[in-house]
């Protein structure tokens, strides 16, 4: 959840889970990665046509070409995610993992803390970033990626920046790093696992496309 610059998220101590709850369920998280190892070669007909249609044989094959096509055809709002990630010098897989974790790709989601849209931006941050409509996927992802780039530049550590995105810059400053909130630690773990999943899918698609090209 994107929280306003300098304003901590409202974490009431009474609402925090016990320290025992901080033992993340990595077994459950790994289950999310497992399906990537048994993915079909192509996840959509459009993806298949991109590599098998005769007219595309002259296309220069590279991981970046495959990655862009994968995001455009196989990830919800992937064209926006890919574009805004590149614009802000972020990995598309990381941004997709953040959107997945924040909202499960639901553009009209509103949390119990009033965070809105695909990247769960709170109203104060939305106003600061000049978002007219936080439920518009293009505006939301553009603002969320811009804000995360700011956090990454400020804290110079990806996991700390993720913690600030989730729990607020104020909490990161107060604790001198990642806050000991189970929700925040779980958020970081989920984003990391999901990014790995997207990277693996892109790599699998790339390797499959190379094998198919070698047969022609």
pLDDT tens per residue across span 161-210: 999 999 999 999 999 999 999 999 999 999 999 999 999 999 999 998 88
What is the mean predicted confidence (pLDDT) over 23-38?
49
24-28 long-range contacts (CB < 8 A, ≥24 apart) are 24/185, 24/186, 24/189, 26/189
| Highest-pLDDT range among 31-35, 47-51, 107-111 | 107-111
Contact call for residues 209 and 66 (beta carbons, < 8 A)? yes
The CA distances from residue 50 to 47, 125, 131, 203, 204, in Å, are: 5, 39, 35, 16, 15
What is the per-residue pLDDT across 38-73, written as a single tens digit (0 to 9) for each?
445 455 666 556 555 554 444 567 999 999 999 999
Q: Is the dihedral of CA 186, 107, 81, 164 positive or negative?
A: negative
Tokens 């990642």, residue located: 178
What backbone phi and psi angles, to 5 degrees, belong to 10?
-80, 95
Position 43 in a domain = yes
Q: What is the number of domains present in the chain?
A: 1
Q: What integer pLDDT is reported at residue 2 of this predicted model? A: 74
Q: What integer pLDDT is reported at residue 56 of this predicted model? A: 47
Position 93 in a domain = yes
Position 18 in a domain = no
Position 128 in a domain = yes
Domain that holds residue 69: 27-215
Positions marked active-site: 102
Q: What integer pLDDT is reported at residue 47 of this predicted model? A: 57
Position 148 in a domain = yes
Contact call for residues 139 and 158 (beta carbons, < 8 A)? no
User: What is the domain-level CATH number for residue 79?
Assistant: 1.10.530.10
Contact call for residues 5 and 127 (beta carbons, < 8 A)? no
Position 84 in a domain = yes
Q: What is the pTM of this model?
A: 0.74
Position 177 in a domain = yes
Position 47 in a domain = yes
> What number of helices (H) and strands (E) belong to the chain?
10, 0
C-alpha span between 114 and 121 (Å, rounded): 8
């Amino acid at each position: 959840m994107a929280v306003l610059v300098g304003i901590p998220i409202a974490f009431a101590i009474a609402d925090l889970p016990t320290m025992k709850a901080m033992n993340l369920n990595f077994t459950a998280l790994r289950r999310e990665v497992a399906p990537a190892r048994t993915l079909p070669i192509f996840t959509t007909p459009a993806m298949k046509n991109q590599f098998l249609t005769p007219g595309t044989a002259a296309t220069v094959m590279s991981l970046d070409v495959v990655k862009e096509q994968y995001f455009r055809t196989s990830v919800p709002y992937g064209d926006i995610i890919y574009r805004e990630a590149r614009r802000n010098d972020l990995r598309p897989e990381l941004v997709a993992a953040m959107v997945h974790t924040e909202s499960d790709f639901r553009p009209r989601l509103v949390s119990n803390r009033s965070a809105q849209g695909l990247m769960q931006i709170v109203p104060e941050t939305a106003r600061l970033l000049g978002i007219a409509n936080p439920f518009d996927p293009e505006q939301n992802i553009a603002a969320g990626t811009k804000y995360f780039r700011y956090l990454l530049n400020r804290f110079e550590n990806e996991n700390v920046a993720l913690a600030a995105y989730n729990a607020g810059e104020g909490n990161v400053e107060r604790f001198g790093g990642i806050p000991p909130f189970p929700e925040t630690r779980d958020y970081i773990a989920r984003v990391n696992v999901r990014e790995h999943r997207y990277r693996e899918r892109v790599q699998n698609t790339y390797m499959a496309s190379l094998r198919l090209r070698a047969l022609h």
